Amino acid sequence: MIKRNILLSPVLILLCFVWLCCDKTGKPAVEDPIVETPPTPEEPPEPEEPEPLTASDIIFMNSFEDGNLNVWDDWDKNPAPENTLLQDPGPFNTPNNHVMRLWVKPGRGGADVVKVLPSPHDKVYARWYAKWEEGFDFTAKNHGGGLHAGDRNLMGVAGRRPDGADMARIGFEYDARNAKAFLYAYYRGMDMDCADPNGSCWGDHLPCFLSANYCKDPALREKPGKPTPKLEAGKWYCIELLMDMGTPTPTQEGADGVVSFWIDGVEYGPFENLWLRTVPSLKIRNFDASLFHHGEHGDAGVVYDNIVIAKKRIGMNKVVGE
């Protein structure tokens, strides 16, 4: 289980009343208008399938056929009913297949599994299949899981800009106003929702489909003709993330970090030249599959299968050992 903390600063304290009035929940402080990118009239982009992985490319994998969650590193030991293994055909329609279900109790809270990777890395891909159950409440404000650089104790920290030596993270989630998928990112160069650029910040949206008040860099908007999809309940999605920490730099100048993501084999990035770190010791050390709700929400959960963490692009197909 991730411990979600908000580190207070003098600026945060002074702005506390404002945040309470605006229901600040890790999203823009105002209901900023969504700027939709219209799709092109052409055929939708074809999925891109990479070369198959070898065993040496794989950092970690779990398809939930062990009968338990012992390979995960959670302090709470993943209790039911928040974490359960279910028999389900899964994304490949496999007989006697098992999946993991994440379910959140009524009110604010979350469910997750956390993996501390066996070794730290500068560049990591993470792929999994996810299905939001029938009746899932996409209007409920949420956070999702993904890749994390830095110590696992900082995985739940929010509300401040990382200093470049402590942490960086990207999580896959949806906008509660229209179910559009995006990455929610904390990193040294973040600046979309910062009351104080040197301290109090909330995560960047990648791609950014908010107004110019938040989307200051056109390169971080949706790619022309390729808006991110709106998630639907009851169907399996193949989700893949890339996090490349890039060259450590003392300032934004020369930064070359990259993050990207694929849904069903179609890329909705990359987002390049990001300032992710200032020191070479900040590396990717953790992954989590997660569902977190800020308040009231529906009773449906999310099911996961075929999680793979690797050094190279993974793609939609099964990999060696699955």
What does the alpha-carbon distance between residue 170 and residue 148 come to, in Å, rounded to a whole number? Answer: 7
Lowest mean pLDDT among 26-35, 51-60, 202-211: 26-35
The confidence score (pLDDT) of residue 12 equals 38
Residues across the chain: 322
Smallest CA-to-CA distance from 302 within 79, 94, 148, 129 is with: 129
Of 30, 15, 22, 5, residue with least CA distance to 200 = 15
Q: Which amino acid makes up residue 78?
A: N
Amino acid 31: pLDDT: 56
What tens digit of pLDDT does each residue of 275-301 get? 999 999 999 999 999 999 999 999 999
Asked if residue 206 lies in contact with residue 183, where contact means CB atoms within 8 angstroms, the answer is yes
Closest CA to 196 of 42, 38, 10: 10
* Helix or strand holding residue 11 (H, E): helix 10-14
- For residues 161 and 247, is the Cβ–Cβ distance under 8 A? no
Among residues 220, 99, 230, 234, the alpha carbon closest in space to that of 176 is found at 230
**Residue 37 three-state SS:** coil
Task: Write out the H or E segment, with its range, that includes residue 18.
Answer: helix 16-22
In 3D space, the residue among 311, 322, 321 whose CA is nearest the CA of residue 50 turns out to be 311
Residue 197: per-residue pLDDT: 62
Give mean pLDDT, residues 297-316.
96
Q: Retrieve residue 73's tokens.
A: 């590193």
Decide if pLDDT at 24 tops 50.
no
Q: Are 142 and 292 in contact (CB under 8 A)?
A: yes
Q: What is the pLDDT of residues 126-179, one digit of tens each?
A: 999 999 999 999 999 999 999 999 999 999 888 999 999 999 999 999 999 999
- HSE, side-chain direction, 13 A CA sphere, residue 45: 19
Q: How far apart are CA 81 and CA 65, in angstroms?
A: 18
What tokens appear for 234 in the block? 């009851």
Please check the confidence at residue 21 and state whether its pLDDT lies above 50.
Answer: no
Is the pLDDT confidence value at 19 over 50? no
Domain 4-36+48-310 belongs in CATH node 3.40.718.10: no
CA atoms of 245 and 256, how far apart (whole Å): 8
140 to each of 50, 106, 297, how far by Cα in Å? 35, 12, 5
pLDDT tens across 37-49, in order? 655 545 667 787 8
Residue 61 in tokens: 């994998």
